[in-house]
Amino acid sequence: MSARRRLPRLRPPRSLRARLTAGLVVLLAVACLAVGATTVISLEHFLLGRLDQQLSALGGRFAASLEHGERPDADNRPDTRGQANGTFGARLVGGRVTQAAVVRDDTPAAVPLTEADRRTLAAVPVDEDGRTVRLSALRPYRVTAVSGDDGDVLITGLPLHPVEETVHRLELVEALVFGAALAATAVAGALWVRVSLRPLDRVATTATAVTRLPLASGQVALPAPLPPSDPDTEVGQVATALNRMLGHVGDALDRRHASEERLRHFAADASHELRTPVATVRAHSELALRHKGPLPADVRHALERIQSESQRMSGLVDDLLLLARLDAGRPLAREPVDVTRLALDAVDDARAVARDHHWLLDLPPEPVHVMGDAHRLHQVIANLLANARVHTPAGTETTLALALSPDGGEVQLTVTDNGPGIPEALQADVFDRFTRADHSRSRTAGGTGLGLAIVQAVTTAHGGTVQVTSRPGHTCFRLCLPSAPAPERPAG
């Protein structure tokens, strides 16, 4: 059994312009339908009333003359004088039809009747308004019945097809006129609605332009305010409210940008100022540790801690300076970089630092290259591997995979581990500065919270993207960079 074909479902218009136009056309169609139905019904009642008046004027003269229709003398033939062509007459005696004829070209013609026709004629009430009947041999007729002088019933009828033709002609004319009016109204209404809602289109265009702006950071140039509209209209009120909102948003963005600029300048200045004293502290601690004479154990321990923390402080200062340079838009080096070599070196370094982890490499058969800063890209890969090392327990398996996209236009680098995963609440902020993992991920060493922020900043500066997906037992950082052709080797 074949399945039924599903008809497409008609969806109502969604846009305000289409809904207003459709509503206008529907209302006009309902009004036209009401007017058309009223005029048709009124005309039909009027024509039937006129037909009943004609039947009343005719009386039962033609039907009464049928009584003598079988006599051979000409004087006793049925009287068709003054009878319109198509006039029907019937005579009933004792409730049964004895004669039935219709005038055709001033000559009476007998009408064959079935039993159903005879019952229909017998059911016509006497001395009442006209009634519409349908006989098998004739079109629909309007008939009336009167009592004869001999106790018989005389039925006279006139054809209804002139009335029906007139009514149908009116219906056709109304359909054409109303159809043209609806079509013209739909076109004119659509144009009128379009002109009326033009200010609303400008509002939607401006709002859409705002949604496409990078409002998260940086200097943002908002669209120009909308031209003033009539505040007494709904569209004017919306435009005025949007202009006010754009003003408030612009002020807030300007204040935020100024605050970010002050913070960046402070971080850069503070980092520059801290580099010298931190380096000095580190140098003095190293010099003290090289003292030839014996040092008390607690003094040596304090000097070692000073050296360790000064090294950590130096790394933090360098990271802050790097982020400040990237925020300021300073360009990085642009040269062909063999990402495969960077991956090999970074994994070798990770194996040397964390021998209690399992480090795997998945590299393509041919080296892949990008245009960029080799030192900073190596730092990105090293930060991703350090993140996996610091936030996963011993025995965790971490895989660094490198591949080209199917079209060859993108280098994809992934760092995947089977550790405990990143909490879902932290994943949205994992690339923010000074973001720390919660205690559900074990930590064996401290961190500044800038490693992944540097990964994102350097990747963005290279025109790439970085994403993270994580669940318990699987965490994957995916780095995508535009690929570059391999550099040509100099001829030997």
Span 383-411, average pLDDT: 90
- Please check whether residues 149 and 164 belong to one and the same domain: no
Report pLDDT for 440: 41
Average pLDDT of the chain, as a whole number: 82
The residues pairing with 125 across neighbouring beta strands, listed in sequence order, are: none
311 touches 282 (CB < 8 A): yes
Residue with the bigger pLDDT between 165 and 313: it is: 165
Q: Is 151's pLDDT higher than 60? A: yes
Give the pLDDT band (50/70/90) at residue 30: very high
How far, in Å, CA of 63 to CA of 367, rounded? 113
The answer to the question of residue 203 being in a domain is no
Q: Is 148's pLDDT higher than 90? A: no
Q: 326-343, pLDDT tens digit by residue? A: 777 777 888 999 999 999
- Please check whether residues 439 and 368 belong to one and the same domain: yes
Give how many domains the chain has, as a whole number: 4
- Please check whether residues 251 and 228 belong to one and the same domain: yes
Report pLDDT for 264: 67
Give the pLDDT band (50/70/90) at residue 371: very high
Give 417's DSSP letter: E
- Please check whether residues 53 and 85 belong to one and the same domain: no
- Please check whether residues 315 and 386 belong to one and the same domain: no
Q: Is 425's pLDDT higher than 80? A: yes
Nearest Cα residue to 342 out of 410, 407, 386, 402: 402
Q: Is 358's pLDDT higher than 90? A: yes
Q: Is 399's pLDDT higher than 90? A: yes
- Please check whether residues 45 and 82 belong to one and the same domain: no
SS3 at position 322: helix
The answer to the question of residue 383 being in a domain is yes
- Please check whether residues 276 and 228 belong to one and the same domain: yes
Instruction: Print the domain residue range for 34.
Output: 14-58+160-196
Q: Is 71's pLDDT higher than 60? A: no
The answer to the question of residue 404 being in a domain is yes
- Please check whether residues 165 and 43 belong to one and the same domain: yes
Q: 217-252, pLDDT tens digit by residue? A: 666 777 777 777 777 777 778 878 878 887 887 787
- Please check whether residues 348 and 452 belong to one and the same domain: yes
pTM over 0.95: no
The answer to the question of residue 2 being in a domain is no
- Please check whether residues 166 and 47 belong to one and the same domain: yes
The answer to the question of residue 9 being in a domain is no
- The CATH number of the domain holding residue 114 is 3.30.450
Instruction: Look up residue 227 and give its two tokens.
Output: 């031209």
The answer to the question of residue 124 being in a domain is yes
- Please check whether residues 164 and 42 belong to one and the same domain: yes
Span 144-164, average pLDDT: 87
- How far apart, in Å, are the Cα atoms of 255 and each of 155, 206, 252? 99, 22, 5
In the chain, pLDDT over 90 holds for what percent of residues?
A: 26
- Please check whether residues 417 and 394 belong to one and the same domain: yes
Give the pLDDT band (50/70/90) at residue 439: very low
Q: Is 285's pLDDT higher than 80? A: no
Give the pLDDT band (50/70/90) at residue 276: confident
The answer to the question of residue 202 being in a domain is no
- The CATH number of the domain holding residue 224 is 1.10.287
- The CATH number of the domain holding residue 477 is 3.30.565.10
The answer to the question of residue 7 being in a domain is no
Instruction: Look up residue 34 and give its two tokens.
Output: 């009401």
